[in-house]
Structure formats: structure tokens, C-alpha cells
């Protein structure tokens, strides 16, 4: 018997059943495994299907050729061959086990011939179930995955020390599944993380980054980040966050800065750039804390935080564009709080210019940064942000606010001044841009008049008209 909700996976004519027939004709077994089975049982959409088989990679490739629209073998040396048909990706992997040895960053992959060993070496029991496709459909659940799925528990098939030793990234994956599925980690698994967390150091930064990004966009990110902090695992790849847990926030007396940070992350939409900016937005506070007369301040923590953000994201091998975007959001997140007396046109123009394409994300971050329990203070901050967005909308109607630039370009400047490329051109363009930011749109004739005066002050004889 198989659960009714996954019968569609094995019905005659389904992609999985058709593929299983091809493997059976070639003398091999084929099983749906892992996330494909788990997600189907949870009524979750799974865009790809994962399989396990006794066939070796070259045999898998031969079987799917002629059936699949596209075949990719980039993972063949690890036992995986991919096949795409009708827009669905089928990843077929030879029975195997993956084990990290000593201080190696790469696992040793060993191919096997039986499903039981393959399932025992998987990360969690809810991912260690298989669905036999031929000759008759059958659920195979040697490690109690169905029971764990019903209970919402994340438990390793083997002793967690063995499972996490095989692949230390599974310690981070534990909390990724907390975030994505909302499940509770088994206490023994958490205890193993606390005891073995330093072993995460042998995992490549790229693998850690990818797993962490998946964690950050989950619906239950609060529980996941709290779990990382309690276990201490965050200290192995995000040590900047550890200091926030003991740092009181004078604006949010009901929570420490880490708790405030997690609350901000949870309020943001599940989009990696915004959530990472929310996570890093206050990391500069420990290094900028100053004590005054009964007060604590964190002046310029956004500047220090942006620098720390860049360093950490670089260490985790994020792309330059991702690093630039997140660091810029961290750097700018305090900007709206500096205009407590209202927004002038000049201030709005500079805010929009500095935010650039990140404007909507920045406004979202600023709104989500309000976690105070003081209703009066919350209303005042949100009213200030409302005013800012109203001022932006008003200026957009009157000016080309999203394309703030002088009315002439560098070529026109060079022709007018009779000079070639060089620092003077950049200096002149910055002067013209500053006038645009301060005064709003102006004509080409006004720009040339400004340029003439600027050149005269520097003893430059204007040769162009």
C-alpha cells in the first residue's frame, strides 16, 4: 500500500512510471527517493524528481538517451545523471554513500548495489524514504520517516554523530529544513551539532552559502535562526552575529540586538537580498557602542556594519553584485531616521540617488526595522516613512526622479571647455550633478552658465559654445 496522495507519481503513463519501465527493461531497479517523496506526502510542489538506482552512471545515461529532451552528465562522477523531459528535471543517482574523511573539503563517494545502505546514509529520516515504482508500487521506509513526517520531526537515520560526520553540512541543513518545513529538530541531533559544530569548517564556503540562502528564505526563518544561535553553529560561519545576543538595544528594551535582528528578518519578504540585509543591518553595533550619561549609542554602526557585511559575504563567496546590494542596504538603512524635521526636495533626491535600483527594497527594510513595543514610537517612525514615500511619489510626477543626471554629458563638457578626458571632466560633472540634486531639473543653457563660472574660478579659458 502507498498513501493515496502519491498515487499520481506511479500511475501508468506518468513520467516516473515510464522511466521505471525503461530501467526495468534494462534489468535495473528504479526508486523515487528523498525530497520528491517527502514533498509529495506533504502536498508540496516539487519541480524536480529524484531517483536512486543500482545502475551505474554510464548505464543511466544509455537508458535515458532517446527518452529525454536533454541529458546532462556534469554530476556523473558523483553518480548523478540528469534528464529533462517536458520541462521536468529527473535526477537519477546510483546507490551511494558520501563520507568526508579527515580534513578534506570534498566527500568520498562510494557506489553501492542496495537501497537500504543508500537510504541509511541520507541526512534525515523524512528524506530517507523511497517509493518502489516497478513491478508494483511500494513505500519503503526503514527509518520511520513517515512517522517523523506526521510528527514534524527532523531526525537522522543513523546516530547523528555518524550522519553529521559523513557530511558536516547536514548540521546547517538541519536548520534549513526547520526554516522551510517548520519541523522541530530532534534533541539528539541538536546535541550533536553543539558537540561537532567546528567540523563545519571542512565544508566549502560555496556549499555553506547555498544552504544558508535556502534557510534565509523559509517561512519559519525565526525558528531556524534561533536554533542556529542556541546551538552555536552560527559562530562557525557567521561569527558577527554572536556578539549581538549579549548586546542590549536601548530602543528595544524587551529584546537584545540579535532578537531584534531576527524579528526584522521575519518581517521582510522571503527575498534573499532583503533578508540578508535585515540579518546584517545591525552587525556594526558591538564595535560602535558608546556609553554616555545614562545612554548607549551606536553612532555610525551602519558604516561599520556595511564593511563587516562585505567581508563576511566575500568569505562565503557571494557574487560581487549580491555583496554590493546587501552592503548598500545596510549602509543606507539609517538614512530615513536622519530627517526627523521632514523631507526637503534636496533630501529626497539624494536618498533616491543613493538607493538607486534598491529603493523599494530599502524602504521595505526600513519599515521592517520597526520592532518597538512602544505604539507611539512605532506610529511616529512609520509616519516618517509614509511621508518619505509620499514625497518620492510627488517628485516623480514633477521630475525625472529615477534618472537624476545633469542636462549635459562629459563629451559636451570637454567640447565646451576645450579639454580632453581627465580628472577635470569628472570634477565638472560632479559639480553639475550636485546642482541637479540641490535645485532640481535645469536647462542645458543653465548648465553651460554654471560650467563657465566654474571654469573661470579655476582659470580655465572656455573655448566652446
| Per-residue pLDDT at 75 | 87
Res 209: pLDDT: 98
pLDDT at res. 292: 66
Taking only the tens of pLDDT, the chain with its 465 residues reads 677 667 777 777 788 889 999 999 999 999 999 888 999 899 887 778 999 999 999 999 999 998 989 999 988 888 999 999 888 899 999 998 766 666 666 667 788 888 999 999 999 999 999 999 888 888 999 999 999 999 999 999 999 999 999 899 999 999 999 999 999 999 999 999 999 999 999 999 999 999 999 999 999 999 999 999 999 999 999 998 888 876 655 554 446 889 999 999 999 999 999 999 999 999 999 877 777 666 766 778 989 999 999 999 999 999 999 999 999 999 999 988 766 556 777 888 888 888 888 999 999 999 999 887 777 777 777 888 888 888 888 777 766 666 678 888 888 888 888 888 888 888 888 888 888 887 888 788 888 888 888 888 887 877 655
* Strand, helix or coil for residue 73: coil
Cα diameter, the chain = 91
Report yes or no: 105 and 204 within 8 Å, Cβ to Cβ.
Answer: yes
d(CA 155, CA 162): 12
Domain boundaries 4-151, corresponding CATH code? 3.30.460.10
SS3 245: coil
pLDDT at residue 316 in the model: 97
Instruction: Decide if 67 contacts 93 (C-beta within 8 A).
Output: no
Integer-rounded Cα Rg, in Å, for the chain is 29
Q: What confidence score (pLDDT) does residue 254 get?
A: 45
Cell triple for residue 292?
554616555
Helix axes 205-216, 272-280, angle to 10 degrees: 100
pTM of the model: 0.84
Spatial neighbors of 102 by CB under 8 A, at least 6 apart, are none
Q: Give the three-class secondary structure for 111.
A: strand
Rounded CA-CA distance 65/75 in Å is 16
What is the CATH code of the structural domain delimited by 152-237? 1.10.110.30
The per-residue pLDDT for 231 is 96
Cα–Cα–Cα angle for 359, 331, 306, rounded to 5 degrees: 135
Inter-residue contact 32 to 119 (CB < 8 Å): no
The residues facing 96 across adjacent strands are 111
Give the whole-angstrom CA distance, residue 286 versus residue 246: 9
Q: How many CB atoms lie within 10 A of CB 366?
A: 22
- 383: alpha, beta or left? (left if phi > 0; alpha if psi -120 to 50): alpha
Neighbours of 346 (CB within 10 A): 12
- Assess whether the previous peptide bond of 72 is cis (omega < 30° from 0): no
At 297 the pLDDT is 63
Residue 200 C-alpha cell reads as: 563545519
Start-end of H helices in 409-458: 410-417, 423-439, 444-457
pLDDT tens-digit map of 82-118: 999 888 899 999 998 766 666 666 667 788 888 999 9
Report CA torsion sign: 381, 383, 387, 390: positive
Torsion angle of the four alpha carbons 257, 234, 240, 310, in this order, in degrees rounded to the nearest 10: -120
Amino acid at each position: 500500500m502507498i498513501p493515496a496522495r502519491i498515487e499520481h507519481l506511479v500511475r501508468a503513463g506518468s513520467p516516473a512510471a515510464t522511466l521505471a519501465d525503461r530501467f526495468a527493461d534494462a534489468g535495473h531497479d528504479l526508486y523515487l527517493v528523498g525530497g520528491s517523496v517527502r514533498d509529495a506526502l506533504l502536498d508540496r510542489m516539487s519541480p524536480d524528481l529524484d531517483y536512486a538506482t543500482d545502475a551505474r552512471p554510464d548505464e543511466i545515461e544509455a537508458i535515458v538517451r532517446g527518452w529525454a529532451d536533454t541529458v546532462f552528465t556534469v554530476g556523473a562522477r558523483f553518480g548523478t545523471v540528469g534528464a529533462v523531459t517536458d520541462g521536468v528535471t529527473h535526477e537519477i543517482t546510483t546507490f551511494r554513500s558520501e563520507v568526508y574523511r579527515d580534513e578534506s573539503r570534498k566527500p568520498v563517494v562510494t557506489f553501492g548495489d542496495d537501497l537500504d545502505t543508500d537510504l541509511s546514509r541520507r541526512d534525515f529520516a523524512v528524506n530517507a524514504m523511497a517509493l518502489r515504482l516497478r513491478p508494483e508500487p511500494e513505500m519503503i521506509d526503514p527509518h520511520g520517516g513517515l512517522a517523523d513526517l506526521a510528527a514534524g520531526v527532523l531526525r537522522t537515520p543513523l546516530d547523528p554523530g555518524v550522519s553529521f560526520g559523513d557530511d558536516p553540512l547536514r548540521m546547517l541543513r538541519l536548520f534549513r529544513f526547520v526554516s522551510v518545513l517548520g519541523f522541530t529538530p530532534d534533541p539528539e541531533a541538536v546535541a550533536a551539532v553543539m558537540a561537532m559544530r567546528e567540523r563545519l569548517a571542512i565544508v566549502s564556503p560555496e556549499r555553506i552559502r547555498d544552504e544558508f540562502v535556502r534557510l534565509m528564505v523559509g517561512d519559519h526563518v525565526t525558528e531556524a535562526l534561533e536554533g542556529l544561535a542556541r546551538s552555536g553553529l552560527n559562530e562557525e560561519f557567521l561569527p558577527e552575529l554572536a556578539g549581538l545576543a549579549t548586546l542590549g538595544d536601548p530602543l528595544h528594551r524587551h529584546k537584545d540586538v540579535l532578537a531584534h535582528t531576527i524579528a526584522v528578518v521575519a518581517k521582510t519578504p522571503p527575498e534573499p537580498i532583503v533578508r540578508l540585509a535585515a540579518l546584517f543591518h545591525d552587525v556594526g553595533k558591538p564595535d560602535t557602542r558608546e556609553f554616555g550619561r545614562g545612554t548607549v549609542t551606536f553612532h555610525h554602526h551602519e558604516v561599520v556594519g556595511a564593511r563587516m557585511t562585505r567581508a563576511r559575504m566575500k568569505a562565503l563567496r557571494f557574487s560581487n553584485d549580491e555583496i554590493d546590494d546587501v552592503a548598500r542596504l545596510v549602509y543606507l538603512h539609517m538614512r530615513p531616521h536622519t530627517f526627523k524635521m521632514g523631507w526637503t526636495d534636496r533630501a529626497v533626491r539624494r536618498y533616491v540617488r543613493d538607493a538607486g535600483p534598491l529603493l523599494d527594497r530599502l524602504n521595505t527594510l526600513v519599515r521592517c526595522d520597526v520592532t518597538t513595543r512602544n505604539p507611539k514610537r512605532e506610529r511616529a517612525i512609520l509616519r516618517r516613512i509614509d511621508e518619505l514615500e509620499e514625497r518620492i511619489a510627488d517628485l516623480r510626477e514633477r521630475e525625472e526622479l529615477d534618472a537624476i543626471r545633469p542636462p549635459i554629458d562629459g563629451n559636451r563638457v570637454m567640447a565646451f571647455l576645450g579639454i580632453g578626458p581627465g580628472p577635470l571632466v569628472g570634477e565638472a560633472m560632479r559639480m553639475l550633478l550636485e546642482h541637479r540634486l540641490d535645485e532640481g531639473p535645469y536647462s542645458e543653457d543653465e548648465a553651460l552658465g554654471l560650467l563657465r563660472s566654474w571654469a573661470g574660478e579655476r582659470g580655465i579659458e572656455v573655448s566652446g559654445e
